[in-house]
Amino acid sequence: MEIKEINILGEKYTIDESKELENKDGQCDWTTKEIKICNTLLIGGEGKLKNLELYKNSVIRHEIIHAILHESGIDTINHMHNEETIDWIARIFPKMLKIFKELDVEN
Ligand SMILES: [Zn+2]
């Protein structure tokens, strides 16, 4: 499986979807600039979710948002950097982007 490279606010991160993780489907390590995605999607897998590609994309967005918050220096602000906020942003962002694109105001 290919390891993707992505620039996140000026820092080069890698996204590796072939990792074996324990008790989580994604992990963002800002010290090594690595985003790891569990190859078996433990939490959403095992028949719990039918569309694993959609779920994997949401996991990747979740971990990227962790990286963005860290690189923007607000990862230490607890009310901004908690799992619920990260999940909300990961879920709402595609819908927000669709609205912005429809209005041609995404830039
Ligand atoms: Zn998280």
73 Cα–ligand 1 center, Å:
16
* Residue 46 dihedral angles phi and psi, to the nearest 5°: 55, 30
28 Cα–ligand 1 center, Å:
8
1 Cα–ligand 1 center, Å:
23
Rounded Cα distance between 44 and 60, Å, is 13
Tens of pLDDT along 41-72? 877 767 778 888 889 999 999 999 999 999 99
Residues with CB under 5 Å of ion ligand 1 are 83, 86
> By the 8 A CB rule, do 42 and 19 touch?
no
CATH architecture of 3-102: 2-Layer Sandwich (3.30)
- For the chain, domain boundaries: 3-102
Tens of pLDDT along 13-47? 999 998 888 889 999 999 999 999 998 887 776 77
86 Cα–ligand 1 center, Å:
6
Q: Which of 64, 23, 65 is nearest to 45 (CA)?
A: 23
35 Cα–ligand 1 center, Å:
11
For position 66, what pLDDT does the model report? 94
For position 61, what pLDDT does the model report? 96
